Amino acid sequence: MRLLLVMPTGLQVGYDAYFSSSPLGIETVAAHVRHCADVMLADMRGKGHDVEAHAEELLKNDPDMVGVSVNSAPHTKYTLALAAAVKRRRPGVRVVLGGQQATFLTDEMMAPGHVDAVIRGEGELALRDIVTRGGFEGVRGVSWRSNGTIHNEPDRPLIENMDDVLPPARDLLPDRQRYRVGKYRVEGLETSRGCAHHCSFCSVRNFHRGRWRPKSVQRVMREVDELLDRCRYPKVIYFVDDNFSTDVRRMEEICRAIVERKAHDTFFWCQARVDALAKRPDLVEWMGRAHFTAVLLGLETPVARLLKSSGKNITVAQTMKTIELLHANDIGAWGTFTLGLPGETLDDAQATVDFIPATGVDVAQITVATPIPGSNLYDEGKAQGSLLVTDWDQYDFTSPTMKGQLPKKKLDALMHRAYLKVYLSGRFFRSMFSQRTNLQRLRRTMFGVFWSWIWFLVKGQVRGWFGLRRKSSQPHRREAPRKGPQGRPGSDAPL
């Protein structure tokens, strides 16, 4: 069997060419099926949204099966349109979807009739069973279509021993030049799955059934060693875990093991919680010694009422203490902030905007609370009738999608004001021209990302003035009418 695994294109956020990481999900799935199939990978990010052209490109690989990872709401309409375009050209090619969005919206994925199966939950073992059996029937964790009827097999148990998960098949995408932040190459590395916390806007906990499952330190370091050996250039290894600090003792062990490697041309990034790091100054010191240069922190808002109602359960004091500790150890703070949480007032939103530069973060990332499928926010919004839109293209993390949120123009103005306060501050400028430290490197790099985004906004404004539309800005529409193999117009309906 010839199996093609696809990472779909998603949002155009303005800094795509400046900051991109490898498609770790499909690379990991590929590692589990390459012994029983001829596996190919295709990363469609940054290639526009012309599904007709993309279908033509993908089918040049002559696949028997196409698997697409659908992990985010903005992937949805593009993926369904791509499935339709593939089926018009090659009806015999089986199309399989997986990922978080596909898991939580299985019925919607199957309804148009162009998708043969959806893998619910973790995909490695389910896809292996599909390939080895030659079909979908009896494969746990799979919903599949036969003669117009959809069959839902029982859920598949989670992988218990995470050390059994094979390292990603990175060699199937040998050109790694595009995966970088500024001049540094970026390689993702997973050390655990799941999260034990209850943030209302996140679907990770529900996808992993409320469990956190780590790989052993020895298993993690084998993969680190592999990357250090094969990637002999300045690089960032990004630990992609949703919460790298779940077990701080394990985290310290990993840091100590990295220090022993003396990999001076390699930097490390991770995601962590401020309530964990604020209590462990010694751990943050080890992170600095291990060349951690950026830690992504979910800071959201300074409004205690909203932190509690969203399930975040952190404090401003923990936030400020953690950033102070990181900076003292030459580590950058990458803060993520959220506007539009349920119950937020205009005063609350303005307090968040003022809070962002006051934290001293080195990188600011601001989103609008979005009820993504699988999150408690989505379930509550659906039950209460507070969801404003059902068009997944509008679930772009910058637009209002729930009742009670501010209008988009107001949200955009608040976000832009906060970004300008961070990246055009005197402190930020002075830091970029200080002695060459990890913080200075990060700030210079992210300043380039910032201006890439600014240029993206300017181009969009100019297009608006002249009535021009970004090429292929709507993933569910064609660039131009084309005909399928039966001479029908190449439309993307039904969607």
Q: pLDDT, tens digit, for every residue of 186-218?
A: 999 999 999 999 999 999 999 999 999 999 999
Residues 122 and 193 reside in one and the same domain: no
Query: For the chain, what percent of residues have pLDDT higher than 70?
Result: 86
127 shares its domain with 205: no
Are residue 284 and residue 406 in the same domain, yes or no?
yes
C-beta separation of 105 from 75 below 8 A: no
Residues 141 and 208 grouped into a single domain: no
- Assess whether 303 and 347 both reside in one domain: yes
Whether residues 330 and 196 fall in one domain: yes
| CA-derived radius of gyration, the chain | 23
Quick check: is 414 in a domain? yes
**Do residues 244 and 269 lie in contact, with contact meaning Cβ atoms separated by under 8 Å?**
no
Do 100 and 208 belong to one domain? no
pLDDT of residue 428: 73
Dig out the tokens for 115 from the structure. 């998708």
Q: Residue 135 is part of a domain; what is its CATH number?
A: 3.40.50.280
Asked if residue 46 belongs to a domain, the reply is yes
- Name the domain boundary from 402, 423, 444: 423
3-state secondary structure of 211: coil
Query: Which structural domain range is residue 299 located in?
Result: 179-423
Cα dihedral 62, 65, 70, 71, rounded to 10, equals -100
Sheet strands side by side (includes 235-239): 180-181, 184-189, 235-239, 266-272, 292-300, 332-339, 363-368
pLDDT of res. 464 = 61
Q: Is the dihedral angle over the CA atoms 228, 230, 236, 239 positive or is it negative?
A: negative
- C-beta separation of 434 from 440 below 8 A: yes
Predicted local confidence at residue 135, as pLDDT: 96
Q: Looking at residue 113, what is its pLDDT? A: 95
Considering the domain boundaries, does residue 479 fall inside one?
no
Position 23 in a domain: yes
d(CA 439, CA 77): 39
Number of domains in the chain: 2
Same domain as 75, residue 194: no
* C-alpha–C-alpha distance, residues 299 and 277, integer Å: 13
Please check whether residues 109 and 191 belong to one and the same domain: no
- Does residue 361 belong to any structural domain of this protein? yes
Q: 188 and 22 in contact (C-beta within 8 Å)?
A: yes
52 bridge partner residues: none
| Final residue before a domain boundary, out of 360, 393, 423 | 423
- For residue 376 the two structure tokens come to 């408690």
Beta strands in 192-321 (DSSP E): 192-194, 212-214, 235-239, 266-272, 292-300
CATH code, domain carrying 263: 3.20.20.70
Q: Does 102 share its domain with 206? A: no
Report pTM.
0.89
**pLDDT value of position 324:** 97
Question: Are 281 and 418 found together in one domain?
Answer: yes
DSSP string, 180-192: EETTEEEEEE--E
With a CB cutoff of 8 Å and minimum separation 6, the contacts of 390 are: none
The low-confidence residues of the chain, meaning pLDDT below 70, are: 10-19, 431-436, 444, 446-495
Instruction: Based on the fold, state whether residues 140 and 213 are members of the same structural domain.
Output: no
d(CA 233, CA 176): 12
Residue 285 lies in a domain: yes
User: CB of 300 within 8 A of CB of 309?
Assistant: no
For residues 408-425, one letter each, b for 16 or more C-beta atoms within 10 angstroms of the residue's C-beta and e for the rest, the string is: eeebeebbeebbebbbee
Is residue 38 in some structural domain? yes
Can you point out the beta strands (E) in 78-155? 94-98, 117-119, 142-146, 149-152
Burial 251-290 (b: 16+ CB within 10 A, else e): bbbbbebbeeeebeebbbbbbbbbbbbbebeebbbbbbeb
Has residue 87 been placed in a domain? yes
Query: Domain end: 137, 152, 167, which one?
Result: 152
